[in-house]
Amino acid sequence: MSKPAASVNPDTNDADRVTVARLIDQARAAMREIARADQARIDELVTAVAWSVYKPENARRLAEQAVADTGIGNVEDKVIKNQRKTFGTLRDLLRARTVGVIDNDNGSGMIKYGKPVGVVAAITPSTNPAATPVNKSMMALKGANAIVIAPSPAGWSTTHATVELMRAALEKVGAPPDLVQVLPQPVSRNLTRELMQQADLIVATGSQNNVRAAYSSGTPAIGVGAGNVPVIIDGNADLADAAKKIEMSKTFDNATSCSSENSLVILDEIYEDAMRALRDVGAYRCSEEERELIREQLWVDGQLNRKLIAKDADVFAAGVGLGDGARDARFFLVEEDFDPESKFADEKLSLVLTVYRARDFDHAVELVRDILNVQGRGHSCGIHTRNFDHPTRLAEELDVVRVLVNQAHTFGNGGSFNNALNFTLSMGCGTWGGNSISENLNYRHFINITHLVTSVAEDKPSEEELFGKHFERYGKD
């Protein structure tokens, strides 16, 4: 397949156009080689690519390289991420049909055929320079597509190593390695934009600048929204369980995940008890003076300070200048009244949690909505509670795609073995977050569907069946 000619990007030079065109041509040639592959063969390719990164020594090497390259996160958690996300995604993919006949409901007279979307341009972030590329590659291959990855410049070395592993795995099972490629160094904004113009589909994860560029490229695009997760600790929550899950989630990979908690909304009736439970799992309760130190240091000229984001707790505490008691903490609690102008209401990409005291549950819902309106609308929120009317209310009233109940948010939001969400590292946020999808990115976004339609017995109701209730209430005039 080939893409209709697109307008030329005036900001891209001829060398960039030639570089991208070569990658696209190689990708299309590789797709032609697997064009007749059946589902078993496609699944073989997906499994081979998954194993290349899941393999313990490779998962660790890529984790070590990612931290060395970017200075973001920590090795042990990135090993878990490389393996857990890959394993869970493979589970999901092997249960789905994506090529040939994918649905044959004889009762409807319709047969559905899955077909490739084409060459996928995958924009990937520095926070996950190995896990996100393999995740998107598996999904793209599941639809018999090829993929070209545009990594963050900071993560290029790790992503290149990941791609080399995937390419070797494809060769091992007799498949063309050019099904998976990566932009060469130096990865520039213009080179990435040229890739977006020449590809058939863009899947953008990372900065909102990249997402907006994808949507404005003229190429069909899927982007994901920004996180800024608020979580309620309800008045009847199991406080020890809630605190442990929050600690596990917030500290995982030093809060690099967009699903990491950024704010806690605690009901007044259990506020101090909840703070003690959080302290018991390693939280450090900052004084007002320490809060102001964090405010001064975590943001520089309005932007997050790269010397402090996603750092180990002791490094963060020393960098900010917190007291000795903070050096042994797991994460940090900053208390304040809600102010939409405060940086603490925004995403922090660090081991800092803003804590708000809610008068009652109505006030808690209001606070969550206010926080999401600062940033994160559409993404997700969570609640720890024994009252299951309360999460239902959140789902009914708030503009979010996901509401997690009694879960460690980072581990549950991108798919889990004990919930029904698809495993992914890319969370769609619906139109609330400026996205075209309102679910976790999954294999369905990487296939086109042909519908073979035959005649069936007529299904035409009478006018009375369709309009009867309207006529009874309003008449026919």
Q: Where are the domains of the chain?
A: 14-224+441-452, 229-422
pLDDT at 26: 98
Architecture of domain 14-224+441-452: 3-Layer(aba) Sandwich (3.40)
Say which residue the tokens 């995403």 belong to. Answer: 347
Structure-token pair, residue 339: 């102010």
CB contact at 8 A, 139 and 446: yes
- The SS3 of residue 415 is coil
Check if the beta carbon of residue 128 is closer than 8 Å to that of residue 81: yes
pLDDT at site 11: 64
| CA 185 – CA 342 distance, rounded (Å) | 38
Which helix (H) or strand (E) element contains residue 326? none
pLDDT at site 8:
56
pLDDT at 7: 52
pLDDT tens by residue, the chain, 477 residues: 556 555 556 666 899 999 999 999 999 999 999 999 999 999 999 999 999 999 999 999 999 999 999 999 999 999 999 999 999 999 999 999 999 999 998 788 999 999 999 999 999 999 999 999 999 999 999 999 999 999 999 999 999 999 999 999 999 999 999 999 999 999 999 999 999 999 999 999 988 888 999 999 999 999 998 999 999 999 999 999 999 999 999 999 999 999 999 999 999 999 999 999 999 999 999 999 999 999 999 999 999 999 999 999 999 999 999 988 898 999 999 999 999 999 999 999 999 999 999 999 999 999 999 999 999 999 999 999 999 999 999 999 999 999 999 999 999 999 999 999 999 999 999 999 999 999 999 999 999 999 999 999 999 999 999 999 999 999 998
**Complete DSSP assignment for 278-323:** HHHTTEEE--HHHHHHHHHHHEETTEE-TTTTT--HHHHHHHHT--
pLDDT of residue 421: 97
pTM of the entire structure? 0.94
286 is catalytic: no
Which are the contacts of 50, defined by CB distance < 8 A and separation ≥ 6? 86, 87, 89, 90, 134, 138
pLDDT of residue 269: 98
Report CA-CA distances (Å) from 271 to 239, 265, 347, 368, 394. 10, 9, 23, 16, 20
Whether 150 contacts 187, CB under 8 Å = yes
CATH superfamily of 229-422: Aldehyde Dehydrogenase; Chain A, domain 2 (3.40.309.10)
Same fold, 14-224+441-452 and 229-422: no
The pLDDT assigned to 10 comes to 60
**Looking at residue 135, what DSSP letter applies?**
H
Which of 261, 415, 411 is CA-nearest to residue 330?
Answer: 261
Q: Which of 258, 286, 381, 429 is catalytic?
A: 258
